[in-house]
Amino acid sequence: MTVPEEQNTPHTDPEEHSRETAEMLRETVAGLAVQLRPFPAFFGMSTIQAIELELPTGSGFTPPPELGCVVVLPDGEISELDLKAIPGSNGPSDVDHVDEFRELELPPEQYIAYATVAVQLLQEELKRRT
């Protein structure tokens, strides 16, 4: 009688499993992101290449209120986008923007939630282009 494969492998604790899953997803997101050239523009802005990641309701994770707009970048990094409007050089009706990306250090469970959304959106974009 043979023992099923899963019984032959040592059991990892849930925390280690989450870290391993997050790392696999990190590689998957990066692999999909680099296939998108040109990378999509953020809300039609030609100067920012990013895709917004919104967690669906019922995802089991509610982002902290201080967390701003979470995006995936062309290299596959999941970051926070801080977009500030500043007065432009042509008068008060002219507005420029300054964008800053901050790398997020998310716990594995939160990273998994955002990375899952990223994989779905990147796959949809790749399908749309074929």
- Residue 26: which H helix or E strand, with range? helix 14-33
Q: What is the value of pTM for the model shown?
A: 0.81
pLDDT digit string (tens) for 50-101?
999 999 888 788 888 888 999 999 999 999 999 877 676 666 666 666 788 9
pLDDT digit string (tens) for 2-58?
445 554 455 679 999 999 999 999 999 999 999 999 999 998 888 899 999 999 888
Sheet holding 51-52, edge to edge: 51-52, 69-72, 78-87, 95-103
The Cα 58–Cα 120 span in angstroms is 16
Domains of the chain, residue spans: 24-129
